[in-house]
A and B are shown apart, each in its own frame.
Chain A
């Protein structure tokens, strides 16, 4: 009970005000490099390495967690800082390690900002002021399929292998051709234009040509093209895998837990000021497009994310056979895409713990009659917009309110926890707290200030005045989420925020890995490496001096 592996990922947005950049936005890649330096002064951190030994965008720390620079091809300098907890044993541990990343990164950002004569702040949220969505994901250890479903899943994978191999070989060939073309074009540009440019200089005219810019543009075109043909080549493969997932993957969880997942935002939503000035419970709910993702990319977000499985299939031809082999394992991480970036510990804990408990209930077979939304995506949006009493259409034609659905799950959890042969103190405390929060949401929500983010943010906005325009309200909304200096941090300093873990626990989680998860060995490897010792590290294994050290393949944060 509550003992499964849990991991958290969080993408932090960067707000950097640096004298060296003037009014322009600093290059976030430079900020990330400096942040890594500051993190490395506090804990041992090692680059993940990679096939060519040059991948320095992902790092692992001595706790077994990871930090990564997440950017898009179209805007490589405007990326996010993504931190992933190590694999944690249960929701309480995941909460601690999530807080540890918040603390470590906030301190590192402050140090870097001061060193550069300005300020750098990380924002822990899920939507910017322009409507772009990013933010957190949760991972839970689950059974992908069993029995005949597992057999069918594996048979489907076998059928997909030739398609994956063809797509992968075509991808590599296309890349090689493109690199040759891009290099040729750059050389032609340099060869043809440089003499003309020298002649301009000789005549006293201003320089009109910069070889570096020409080469840079060629590289940029290549990267854009690469993204395009990746989508073209792998698109059919992704669709096929998605069909396979829909048919066989996580069926009991999807049947039993979807109603919970689309309504839990009444507890763990962070609240957001929409562009039209209205209020919604969740930053991410409006960006969900599917129950399960069809393809890579931010335009196809799912309630349940499957990108990691698609990437594993891509491993067929990327010289990562272990990734491919991992698709055969019955236990896989279930990645929840619909969830907000909580700053209130109570909200974050309830999000993680009630979800873990509901997954326990599914596995115990007591949620076969759970209310199933007829359209989960529509339900998520309705609940985000209308709140507790949003009417959710269910399979079979009935409707139930969001809080009614939460109460259904709470009642099942109470009964199951009470009758369980191996009682769990944490589970008893959890269902009690869950029930109290639902009662307060209905009867006295203001008493949840400092405990639930959407209530706290809403109270702050209301206290700031209802005459503020939408831009001002959005600014307060954004600033609520800044680590260390945001409005929630101000409220915390005033004693308004309830804490479930103390500073010592967080300090330990910055330096010590969880003791009985794969992160323990990964953390030991990171700590044990000599500073210049060549190594590659990823979530499933390390390669040190030709020796492969496997970590137990389990759900993780990254």
Chain B
């Protein structure tokens, strides 16, 4: 399985990592950047994910069925 297809590990603290690829010194040094997914962002992601999960469990078949675009476009 290629790196992009790996699950993203979400630790309780610190930046999210891909969990398996070797961490370069550059990326380790950059962990403190404002774009790193820190705890508040992690909680936001988990909150939205839990909403998505709940909806998918209740309505997935309907959402997929009504998404149909007959034969697609150009």
Interface residues of chain A, those whose CB is within 8 Å of chain B, are 11, 13, 15, 25, 70, 72, 74-75, 78, 80, 82, 123, 128-130, 132-135, 266, 278-279, 281, 298, 307, 386-390, 439-447, 449-451, 454-455, 458-460, 462-466, 468-469, 471-476, 478-479, 487, 490-491, 494-496, 498
Contact = CB atoms under 8 A, between A and B. Distances in A.
Contact of B21 (A128, A443, A449, A469): A443
Contact of B27 (A390, A444, A468, A478): A444
A77 B9 CA distance: 44
A439 B29 CA distance: 13
A444 B67 contact: no
Contact of B45 (A128, A440, A460): A460
17 contacts: A15-B66, A72-B73, A123-B67, A129-B65, A279-B5, A387-B4, A387-B5, A389-B2, A442-B21, A444-B17, A444-B30, A447-B36, A459-B16, A464-B53, A468-B53, A468-B56, A494-B44
A426 to B, nearest CB: 20
Contacts of B55: 475, 479
Contacts, number: 196
Contacts of B27: 439-440, 443-444, 447
A329 to B, nearest CB: 23
Contacts of A129: 63-65, 67-68
Contact of A463 (B10, B15, B30, B68): B10
A498 to B, nearest CB: 7
B13 to A, nearest CB: 14
A13 B60 contact: no
A386 B6 CA distance: 11
Nearest to B9: A446
A217 to B, nearest CB: 19
Contact of B4 (A13, A281, A473, A494): A281
A266 B65 CA distance: 29
Contacts of A281: 4
B48 A490 contact: yes
Interface string B1-34: 0111101111000011110011110110010010
B69 A13 contact: yes
Across chains A and B, which 6 residue pairs bring their CB atoms closest together, nearest first?
A446-B16, A387-B4, A494-B44, A75-B70, A463-B49, A129-B64
Given A440-B27, A444-B30, A463-B49, 12 more contacts: A11-B74, A72-B73, A78-B70, A128-B68, A134-B73, A279-B5, A387-B5, A443-B23, A447-B16, A449-B37, A478-B64, A496-B45
Contacts of B33: 447
Contact of B64 (A445, A455, A471, A490): A471
Contacts of A465: 49, 53
Contacts of A278: 5
A491 B44 contact: yes
Contacts of B69: 13, 78, 80, 128, 132, 134
A82 B8 CA distance: 34
A307 B74 contact: yes
A298 B56 contact: no
Contacts of B24: 439, 442-444
Contacts of A476: 52-53, 56
A475 B50 contact: no
Interface centre among B16, B41, B45, B72 (most CB of A within 10 A): B72
Contacts of B15: 444, 446-447
B23 to A, nearest CB: 6
A53 to B, nearest CB: 25
B74 A70 contact: yes
A149 B51 CA distance: 57
Contacts of B45: 449, 459-460, 463, 491, 494, 496
A464 B51 CA distance: 8
Nearest to A469: B60
A459 B8 CA distance: 6
B67 A130 contact: yes
A446 B68 contact: no
A555 to B, nearest CB: 17
A478 B18 CA distance: 24
A388 B3 CA distance: 7
A475 to B, nearest CB: 4
A544 to B, nearest CB: 29
A81 B21 CA distance: 41
B8 A445 contact: yes
A491 B73 contact: no
Contacts of B37: 446-447, 449, 496
Contacts of A123: 67
A460 B47 CA distance: 10
Interface centre among B21, B52, B60, B68 (most CB of A within 10 A): B52
A130 B8 CA distance: 27
Contacts of B71: 72, 74-75, 132, 298
